[in-house]
Amino acid sequence: MPRLLAKLLAALCVGLLLTPGVVSAGWITISNDTNQTLVVQESVTVNGQVRKCKPLKLAPGETVREFRQTGGTKTLAVSETGLFGKQLFTGDVTWKDDTAFSIHKDTDKVKITDAATLAAKAKTAAANQEAKKPDEKKPR
C-alpha cells in the first residue's frame, strides 16, 4: 500500500509540473478623466449577433472596476448622457493582467488609452518641455 501511495503522489507531482501555466487574469479599471458625465457600454457577440450590455454612467473622475478571469478584448462605446446622447468613441480595448484605462479628450475627440501609456506620454512631454527651456545664466 505505501508503494502505491508513493507512486500516486509522484504521478500527481509530475502531472502538476507538466500542466500549462494559468492564463492571466486581473482587474480592468476604466476612469472618466473628462469634465463631463459619460455613458460606457460594452458590446459582446453571441451566436453571431452583437448584443449590448448594461450601460454604465460615469461622472467626471469616477472609476469602474471589473474582474476578468482571462485576458482578452472588449468592444466599448462611449457616449454623452441623455436620450439621444452623441456617440463619442467606439473601439476595442485589450488587456492581459491588471490594466487601467483612461477615457480622456485628445484635442476634440474622446479616446480610451491604457493609463500606463498615457502616463509615459505625459512624462515624455514634460521632459521635452524641460529640454526646451533656455539655460538660465547664474549671476557671478
Compute the chain's Rg from CA coordinates: 24
Query: Minimal CA–CA distance to 25: which of 85, 53, 66, 78?
Result: 66
Beta strands in 53-121 (DSSP E): 56-58, 63-68, 72-80, 87-95, 99-106, 109-114
Rounded Cα–Cα distance for residues 37 and 59 (Å): 4
pLDDT tens-place string over residues 92-140:
988 888 889 999 998 888 988 887 777 777 777 777 777 776 655 556 6
Cβ neighbours, 10 Å, residue 117: 11
The residue type of 12 is L
Q: Is the pTM of this model over 0.75?
A: no
* pLDDT score for 79: 93
pLDDT tens-place string over residues 27-40:
899 999 999 999 99
Q: Which sequence spans correspond to the domains of the chain?
A: 23-122
C-alpha distances in angstroms, 91 versus 52, 86, 140? 14, 15, 58
Has domain 23-122 been given CATH number 2.60.40.4150?
A: yes
